Amino acid sequence: MTLCVLTQPIDPIGCDLLRAAGVEVALAPDTALTSLAPLLARADAVITRNWGFGAAAMALAPRLRVIGSHGTGVDRIDLVAASARGIRVVNTPGANAPDVAELALGLMLAAARLLPQADRALRAGDDGWRLRVQGLALGGRCLGLWGWGQVARALAPMALGLGMDVVVCSAHADASELTAAGVTRVTDVATFLARVDILSLHGLPGPRPVLGAAELAALRPGALVINTARGALIDEAALADALQSGRLGGAALDVTVTEPLPPDHPFRACPRLVLTPHIGSNTDRGMTSTARAVARAVLDALGGDAP
């Protein structure tokens, strides 16, 4: 029987679709290669989430034909090793976009209104906290979307609904689509960065971070940085320095270069930084839609029928 190994749990609806098509499903106990080895030895397909799938894992899977990414990103999958083996890599672009966009909005509000700090102050009995600080109103501010993918498309109307101006920096976005969406295109990066009060990163990383020390310095003093896309989009040392210096108003990140975040990572000591553990799609809707999409993509790659 065809075997699909899950390196991390997915919603049962995805498992049900695979089983209905005659595929055996096995959830790995953890992502240690010693634990994965017995399952990968007979795996025809793998579905992975943010753990990815490297060359060492592929070497343990002689029968492997397809790797499914539970989400849009495939940067944690060794695409070179997969291509060399003729292993198909499939993903689920857009399946969880509304849910990631909602989290991006929530992170904006948390960073702008200092919600984690307010919670800590109240629990600590610091009744004077509210008299010493003030948050940032989002209405009337400029949100910059660096990239115009599915998540950015879903986030833009949410921000417009709050009375924000929305500008997009993208070399590929269709101008007529941006106009119809009520957002403004800015093609020059320096002009874009100087204009925005809140910067939200979207898209996939390249060979170097798009947001480094120079780009952070180009932002307005007090600006906020939001990242629900990929940790590699940001030079993390540069962001930590900008937060420690007080030049940035704050940041909120759902993704980091290394996940989970190492105990000694400088982000753990940064002020005005909200961190969440890669939960962009972790809603009832997001998990079911993504599990369904990745199961269907894997079945299609295997040549099976998706109910």
Catalytic residues, by residue number, are 230, 259, 278
DSSP-derived secondary structure for the chain: --EEEESS---HHHHHHHHHTT-EEEE-SSS-HHHHHHHHTT-SEEEESTT-B-HHHHTT-TT--EEEESSS--TTB-HHHHHHHT-EEE--TTTTHHHHHHHHHHHHHHHHTTHHHHHHHHHTT-TTHHHH------TT-EEEEES-SHHHHHHHHHHHHTT-EEEEE-SSS-HHHHHHHT-EE---HHHHHHH-SEEEE-S---SS-SB-HHHHHHSPTT-EEEE-S-GGGB-HHHHHHHHHHT-S-EEEES--SSSSPPTT-GGGG-TTEEE--S-TT-SHHHHHHHHHHHHHHHHHHHT----
Do 3 and 44 touch, CB atoms closer than 8 A?
yes
Chain centre to alpha carbon of residue 24: 29
DSSP-derived secondary structure for 204-222: ---SS-SB-HHHHHHSPTT
